[in-house]
Amino acid sequence: MRILHVAHQQLRKYGHNRVSWGQKLYFGLIRNNHCVQSFSDRDVAAFEAPLGIRDLGKKKANARLLQTVEAFEPDLMIVGHCDIIANETLEAARAINPNLIIAGCNNDPLFVPENVDKIKTRVQVVDSMFVSTGVKELGLFKGARAKLWHMPNPVDTSIETFDASASTSLPTDLIFCSKETSYTERGRWVEDLQTQLPKAINFKTPGSFGQPGVWGRDYDRALSQSKMGLNLNRQEGLHWYSSARMAQLVGNGLLTFTHEGGQFDELLPPESLVYFSDYDDLKNKVVEFHQDDAKRRYWASRGREFFHREINSTLYAQYIVEAAMGLPFSHAYVWAENP
């Protein structure tokens, strides 16, 4: 199948990238033997703009996308976080290629009002919309053109390459990486853990409390030196919602602590993720697993194995293609439900 993948490809990062779900989708599409043409809206806008000023290149980026549709003749166009591309441009793409199917993907949280507005705008024009929050929350977007689907945050065998569960001697006992402070009070928990966890627990918090964040290879190295990781979302309790951090931690074999409100016990097997209900429960469970390293490694290995087998980018990409194109599912995807 010929697929046009429209997303921020981080071309101007020159390798110093954040881990990207869009990149994982791109890799998965190729592994499934699709012919994939990528289009990075933000980078095209900057490249085409006078003096490289991205905002001055938005109109040209939309025109270049239509030029790409005409030249490439895709069967499916997948549009991710590409706010530069207007709905009118997607309609024009259909006029060029009347058989074109368009799928939207949104990997941002629904507790950010601006993101809800973005999805409400896109569902008016795309044929399917895939959202990283679970099916119980997607009623907000019913009644528009798009059929609604949940999509997970997958691991990728070429990105999540480490296995902390196989090691008994790593310098960092617990890690939490984040610089985001809007719509959240999780920083208080992190600060309290720093002071209240036993001194024997080496707790690293890159990006918090004035510490520099870690990206690209620095992020990979930080995870590869850690036994356990905190998956603290900016807000908890949304069905099957987590930042991509959870897949990055679990996929690299770190024992991962996540809030029970996400209901991931519906997707993952027992003794894989560690669920906590409140701050005291989290603190006690961190201490428990720090004191029992064999238990830590066993649970972490089960989580890693399950993610790499059932929530990987190859299955993820093929699911999006099959759901968007109305094809029978080729796999019993653990997350596949409609609202």
DSSP characters for 285-322? HHHHHHH-HHHHHHHHHHHHHHHHHHSBHHHHHHHHHH
Q: pLDDT for 120-147, tens place per residue?
A: 999 999 999 999 999 889 999 999 999 9
Q: Is residue 156 classed as helix, strand or coil in its secondary structure?
A: coil
Report the chain's C-alpha Rg in angstroms. 21
DSSP run (H or E) holding 105: strand 101-106
pLDDT at 181 over 70: no
Lowest mean pLDDT among 12-26, 101-115, 199-213, 261-275: 12-26
Q: pLDDT for 277-299, tens place per residue?
A: 999 999 999 999 999 999 999 99
Average pLDDT over residues 61-90: 97
Average pLDDT over residues 73-83: 96
Residues 6+ positions from 113 with CB-CB distance below 8 Å: none
| Sheet with 274-276, edge to edge strand ranges | 203-204, 172-175, 226-231, 255-259, 274-276
The confidence score (pLDDT) of residue 216 equals 86
Write the secondary structure of 49-77 as one string of H (helix), E (strand) and C (coil): CHHHCHHHHHHHHHHHHHHHHHHHCCCEE
Average pLDDT over residues 303-324: 98
pLDDT at 253 over 80: yes
* Distance separating alpha carbons of residues 226 and 204, to the nearest angstrom: 9
pLDDT at 183 over 90: no
Averaged confidence pLDDT in the chain:
93
The confidence score (pLDDT) of residue 203 equals 96
The confidence score (pLDDT) of residue 8 equals 84
Beta-ladder partners of 255:
228
Average pLDDT over residues 297-311: 98
Q: Is residue 8 classed as helix, strand or coil in its secondary structure?
A: coil
The closest alpha carbon to 85, from 117, 42, 131, 47, belongs to 42
Tokens of 178: 């984040």
| Sheet with 2-6, edge to edge strand ranges | 35-39, 2-6, 76-79, 101-106, 128-131, 147-150
The confidence score (pLDDT) of residue 187 equals 82
Integer CA distances (angstroms), 114 to 108, 238, 267, 300, in order: 10, 17, 28, 35
The confidence score (pLDDT) of residue 338 equals 46
DSSP run (H or E) holding 229: strand 226-231
* Distance separating alpha carbons of residues 160 and 176, to the nearest angstrom: 17
* Distance separating alpha carbons of residues 321 and 266, to the nearest angstrom: 24
Cα torsion 14, 27, 313, 100 to 10°: value is: 120
* Distance separating alpha carbons of residues 335 and 138, to the nearest angstrom: 14
> Which phi and psi (to 5°) does residue 36 adopt?
-115, 125
